[in-house]
Structure 1
């Protein structure tokens, strides 16, 4: 498991992102409104506890309910509103439910330009995620930012920064997971697993 990458040559203003993969949710075909399970609600409280002393200045989230629910306690203890960032939503694998999820997800990771009907390829989803990442880094430079998001889009963003964050890395993720990424402007200088 990749847990840390550090470039000690960087000494300027650091922006810190806490990518929070949402807690466990009960499966539903309604991606937007799928809620956390009872276990997920308990784990969301742990996310709040883990990050409560990190001087979070901004809390962003995917528009999906399960991602919002995972970071809403954190936003509340800091007196912050959650800023919805559409581009941190999960990658759309297919326009309709797939028969074999494992096969479907392996295929898109094996061929980054491939997409299932109506879905996003890794390249398209990654481009969307990196666009959102750059917007956040430019808008909130020097701040500590928590982002409620999803496993695939999170790893696709991280993969664009360092290709060690790959399909096998995605497969070992938990729900929730927290990864702390530190940046000098747009340059990644450190990755640390906070929970996972």
Structure 2
């Protein structure tokens, strides 16, 4: 693999695994397909969450590429409990990678989970791969590549968003290639 496009899903109607894209999200998915159409993508892997699948379906259909579901690309669960102050807990999870809330996954465990997907893809026969996931999980991989990536950068992610990861054998190169557009 020479390039990995990390894609955050388009705008969705909720956080549940079965939450669909909003009308704006469906329009964003078409825009995402337009944007990525000429990037040489040969393989698509995706979170099992409906909003992620719906975000990449237009591109997959245009490219005649099957979407391969990878459960390890599912969003990180911060806690199984309702947390009124969840944003504070999320902020802290970027500093204390090992903190694990009840029923949740630590940042380090989630980071290792998405890294295992990237390591697996690096051995693929495809040169250019798209991986569709969620904001928190994606930001933890970005933090692994560039430790300066943290809570503030997570907050600045858009729906959708795209980072290109390349040059895996040397110092990995990370570049944000998506610019938010109002639809």
The answer on whether the counterparts of 2:145 and 2:172 sit within 8 Å (CA) in structure 1 is: no
Q: Secondary structure at the match of 2:157?
A: coil
Aligned to 1:69: 54
Which of 165, 168, 186 in structure 1 is aligned with 2:149?
165
Matched pairs, number = 179
Deviations 1:11-53 (A, max 9, x none): xxx610111100111125xx22111111111111110000001
Is 2:86 aligned against 1:98?
no
Moved over 6 A (4+): none
Structure 1 residue 119 corresponds to structure 2 residue 104: yes
Whole-Å Cα distance in 2 between the matches of residues 154 and 34 of structure 1? 19
Deviation at 1:107, TM superposition (A): 2.5
Q: TM-score, normalised by structure 2?
A: 0.91
Q: Which runs of 5+ in 2 are unaligned?
A: none
Distance 2:152 2:125 in 1: 31
Q: Does 1:182 align with 2:169?
A: no
For residue 22 of structure 1, what is the aligned residue in structure 2?
Answer: 9
SS of corresponding position for 1:139:
coil
Provide the C-alpha distance between the structure 1 equivalents of 2:82 and 2:2, rounded to a whole number of angstroms: 38
Quick one: distance in 1 between partners of 2:45 and 2:96? Answer: 30
**Conserved? CA contact 1:15–1:140, under 8 Å:** no
Quick check: 1:193 aligned with 2:176?
yes
Distance 1:72 1:40 in 2: 12
For residues 149 and 99 of structure 2, the distance between their equivalents in structure 1, rounded to whole angstroms, comes to 19
Q: CA–CA distance in 1 between the matches of 2:25 and 2:58?
A: 13
**CA distance in 2: counterparts of 1:24 and 1:119, whole angstroms:** 24
Question: d(CA) in 1 for partners of 2:167 and 2:76?
Answer: 24
Ranges in structure 1 where 5+ consecutive residues have no aligned partner: 1-13
